Chain A
Amino acid sequence: MRYNNIAILALLTILPALTQAESPSGQALAFTCAGCHGTDGSSVGPSSPSIAGMDPDVFVDVMKGYRNDKRNSTIMNRIAKAYTDEQLKGMAWFFAKQKLQVSPQNHDPQLAVAGEKLHNKYCNKCHEKGGAAGDSGTLAGQWMPYLRYSMADYIDGRRPYPRKMKRKVDAVLEAEGTDAVPALIHYYGSQQ
């Protein structure tokens, strides 16, 4: 009995100290992002991306990509280097739990219609529900300049493609020409 009590006491003592050892909470870390990515990760634009509702694994992958200078960035590579893996996970879970608040954007409705068709044909397999916030990054309602930068970085080789994406992007460019990318972006930007 006494032995058990000591064991429980030891667990209560050591476990929290280990899991929380002198690191800010995920929430505290995530709060510092709001000045660019909006309160709780819903950006009000015009170009810094919303990160609310992101899949936590994708969030961590993205941040590690910045941290290792594998992914083109202006400022995020400098910021990402400050965080440990555990801290990235803490932030990831905070943002995963936030509901994405989408703001309306100016878009060309005709291009958006064309983009929807392209999306369904080439992108929907990984970016489900029109690219809604979830397991493959947020496209639906994402800020259009950010989507433009991202696609330019993929196509120009400044950002590594995730598995299978290069084939799909090459295919859509080959079949539909250079208008394919703006059409897709206007489709994503059109979604509320």
Chain B
Amino acid sequence: MSKFNRRDFIRWSAGMALASGSLSFPGLLLAATRKVVVVGGGVGGCTAAKYLRKLDPNIDVTLIETKKAYTSCFMSNEVLSGDRTIESITFDYEGLKRHGVRVVIDSVTAIDPVAKSVATESGDTFGYDACVVSPGVDFKWDAIEGYDEAVAEEIPHAWFAGPQTVTLKNQIRAMPEGGRVIIVAPPNPYKCPPGPYERAAQIAMYCKHHKPRAKIIILDPKDAFSKQGLFRQGWSKHYGFGTENSMIEWVGAASGGKVESIDPSTRTLEAEVEDFEADVINIIPPQKAGKVAYASDLVEGDWCPVDKLTFESTRHKNVYVLGDASSASKMPKSAYAANSQAKVAAAAIVAKFNDLHVGEPTFVNTCYSILSHDHGISVAAVYSLDRANNMINPIKGAGGLSPMDASDDQRKREVSYAHSWFKNVINDMME
């Protein structure tokens, strides 16, 4: 037989099985049960767990997560405006259990890729055939002098949704009329590129009605940011951006937006050009891969390199790194990206366990930002893999931003599609 006919035939058969929509392998049921341990119960981990079980119910899937419930970062800016409660973005793991996923609440200390086992803080070990790691980001705490984990309890980052989101919301409500909020934006790359700018709009949305003389200043170490033109347009329309009475002000790198230190006792930020005092400060620190990735030797630089065909670590076999912690350029660090990557990894793991060809991957990112009750904007991209360069490239001629000249009605529709995005991502990952 020629070099590729058997391979292609298997691939074709697998394609047919995949096309049928119900992947099952009756001829292969006698193989020993394969075990997958998923580390991290965020978008990447949950989606991988659910889709592994969906694609091959014979796989034994255990998901290990520190927290009993998941609070989504996406839509957490709506908690700041008061449009949502923190409870409305908090979900338990019961849905995953219904898919046959074993959920263990414990903290993973490290993955041993040689012994193929995962160790937890309470002393348990879990053996695996494949390990999916989706630990999210961690902060570079030494980047801004005077800012550390203890200070963050008072001067929140609120970049993991949860108690700090509520702290930030309460501080904004408690500040004097005409108070000043400062958001310190992080350098690239970080999770949720439009997040700090949507946050400014959501805080402004609250202030417009309750503290109309308030100011929200974004101090930014960058000269450009995600959806910049659309944000400036929306800020102008709703919050006077660009006028003397603007509620939102953006200070980019060229104007001295990079913050070097903080004095928490006086709430004073020292930036490159001048000092800034504020009533409420929100510092979003620079980011790197989550702790477990470092403890398990999966990181190069700040992030985890992967073979983008499968998302298997290039440092350790049988370990797959998804989502924000992975080095998945040119995809952004977003929930939709993690959801999309998790399905590619799940299909690759299922293919490997069943001796099938790994199909060509496909990825999508969609991301919405809500600037007011009737003003939503989005960015979308469909990606394909350039195998030779291990690069996930957006397909040319597709994707991109909401048009600058969209009608009010279209902007309003995007708000309702943003809420649909939220509900369906949650549903797809854990229900």
Chain A residues close to B by CB (< 8 Å): 9, 12-13, 15-17, 19-20, 22-29, 31-40, 43-48, 74-75, 78-83, 90, 93-94, 97-98, 143, 145, 149, 152
What would be 20 A-B contacts, judged by CB atoms less than 8 Å apart? A16-B11, A16-B12, A20-B8, A25-B18, A25-B360, A28-B359, A28-B360, A31-B343, A32-B340, A33-B364, A35-B335, A36-B424, A44-B424, A45-B420, A47-B416, A75-B366, A75-B378, A79-B399, A83-B382, A145-B416
User: Which of B19, B413, B427 lies in contact with A38, CB distance below 8 A?
Assistant: B427
A36:B11 contact, CB within 8 angstroms: no
Interface centre among A28, A37, A83 (most CB of B within 10 A): A28
Q: Please, which residue of chain A has its CB at the minimum distance from the CB of B427?
A: A44
Would you call A79 and B9 a contact (CB within 8 A)? no
Kindly list 13 other residue pairs between chains A and B, CB separation below 8 angstroms, not including A28-B359, A39-B427, A81-B398. Answer: A9-B1, A17-B4, A19-B12, A20-B8, A28-B18, A32-B340, A35-B428, A36-B421, A38-B424, A38-B428, A47-B420, A74-B402, A83-B398
**Which of A12, A33, A35, A82 has the most chain B CB within a 10 Å cutoff?**
A35
User: Do residues B2 and A13 form an inter-chain contact, with CB atoms below 8 A?
Assistant: yes
For window 1-30 of B, CB contacts with A under 8 Å fall at: 1-2, 4-5, 8-9, 11-12, 14-15, 18-21, 23
Contact A93 B19 (CB under 8 A): yes
> Which of A23, A32, A44 interacts with B343 by CB under 8 Å?
A32
Q: Interface centre among A24, A40, A74, A81, by most B CB within 10 Å?
A: A74
Q: Which residues of A contact B359 (CB under 8 A)?
A: 24-25, 28
Q: Give the complex CA separation of A152 and B410 in angstroms.
A: 12
Cβ-defined partner of B362 (8 Å) among A29, A78, A97 = A29
Bound complex: CA of A90 vs CA of B419, how far in Å? 28
Contact between B423 and A46 (Cβ–Cβ < 8 Å)? yes
In the complex, which of the residues B4, B413, B424 contacts A37, with contact meaning CB atoms closer than 8 Å?
A: B424
Which of A22, A75, A79 has most chain B Cβ within 10 Å?
A75
Contact A90 B5 (CB under 8 A): no
Q: Is B128 an interface residue (CB 8 A)?
A: no
Residues in A with CB closer than 8 Å to B382 are: 32, 79, 82-83
- Choice from A29, A31, A48, A94 contacting B421 with Cβ under 8 Å: A48
Which one of B1, B15, B335 has the highest number of Cβ atoms from chain A below 10 Å of its Cβ? B15
- The reply to whether the CB of B380 lies closer than 8 angstroms to some CB of chain A is yes
Smallest CB–CB gap between A24 and chain B, Å?
4
> Chain B contacts of A145 at CB under 8 A?
416
Binding site for A on B (CB under 8 A): 1-2, 4-5, 8-9, 11-12, 14-15, 18-21, 23, 51, 335-336, 339-340, 343-344, 347, 359-364, 366, 378, 380, 382, 384, 395, 397-400, 402, 406, 409-410, 413-414, 416-417, 419-421, 423-425, 427-428, 431
Q: Please tell me if the beta carbons of B9 and A16 are within 8 angstroms of each other in the complex.
A: yes
Q: How far is the CA of A43 from the CA of B426 in the complex (A)?
A: 11
**Chain A, residue nearest B382 (CB):** A82
Contact residues in A for B423 (Cβ distance below 8 Å): 44-46
**Cβ-neighbour of A75 out of B19, B380, B419 (below 8 A):** B380
Q: Nearest residue in B to A11 (C-beta to C-beta)?
A: B5
Task: Take A35-B428, A45-B420, A48-B417 as given contacts and tell me if A25 and B19 are in contact as well, using a CB distance cutoff of 8 Å.
Answer: yes
A19 cross-chain contacts in B, Cβ below 8 A: 12, 15
**8 Å CB contact of A79 from B20, B364, B416:** B364
Q: How far is the CA of A24 from the CA of B15 in the complex (A)?
A: 9
Q: Once the chains are docked, how many angstroms separate the CA of A48 from the CA of B418?
A: 9
Given the complex of chains A and B, what is the CA–CA distance between A25 and B15 in angstroms?
A: 6
Contact A35 B402 (CB under 8 A): no
Q: What is the minimal beta-carbon distance from B361 to any residue of chain A, in angstroms?
A: 6
Give the top 8 A-B pairs by smallest Cβ distance, nearest first.
A82-B382, A16-B12, A82-B398, A48-B420, A81-B398, A24-B362, A32-B364, A13-B5
Interchain CA distance A20-B335 in the complex, whole Å: 30
Chain B nearest CB from A85 CB (Å) reads 14
B18 touches A47 (CB 8 A): no
Residue in chain B with minimal CB distance to A16:
B12
Query: With A32-B343, A74-B414 known to touch, is A39 a contact of B361 (CB < 8 Å)?
Result: no
Chain B: minimal CB distance from A156 (Å)? 9
Residues of B contacting A20 in the complex (Cβ-Cβ under 8 angstroms):
8, 11-12, 15
Report the minimum CB–CB distance from B390 to chain A (whole Å).
Answer: 16
**Contact between B395 and A82 (Cβ–Cβ < 8 Å)?**
yes
Q: Are B363 and A32 in contact (CB under 8 A)?
A: yes
Partner of A78, one of B1, B11, B399: B399
How far in angstroms is the closest Cβ of chain A from B168?
Answer: 27
Q: Are B380 and A28 in contact, with the CB atoms below 8 A?
A: no
| A39 / chain B contacts, CB cutoff of 8 Å | 427-428, 431
Q: Which residues of B lie under 8 Å from residue A26 when comparing CB positions?
A: 18-19
With a CB–CB cut-off of 8 A, which chain A residues contact B15? 16, 19-20, 25
Which B residues lie within 8 Å of A97 (CB)? 20-21
Out of B5, B8, B361, B413, which one reaches A28, CB within 8 Å?
B361
- Residue numbers in B under 8 Å from A22 (CB-CB): 360
Contact A94 B21 (CB under 8 A): yes
Q: Are A75 and B414 in contact (CB under 8 A)?
A: yes
Residue of A nearest to B343 (CB): A31
Q: Which residue of A lies closest to B19 (CB)?
A: A26
Q: How far is the CB of A2 from chain B (nearest CB, A)?
A: 15
Contacts of B20 in A (CB 8 A): 97
User: What residues of B have a CB within 8 angstroms of the CB of A80 in the complex?
Assistant: 398
Instruction: Name the A residues within 8 Å of B335 (CB-CB).
Output: 35
Name the CB-closest residue of A to B337.
Answer: A35
A174 to chain B, nearest CB (A): 25
A80→B406 CA distance, assembly (Å): 18
What's the nearest-Cβ distance from chain B to residue A140, in Å? 19
Residues of the A chain whose Cβ atoms lie less than 8 Å from the Cβ of B51? 31
Residues from chain B with a CB closer than 8 A to the CB of A47 are: 413, 416-417, 419-420
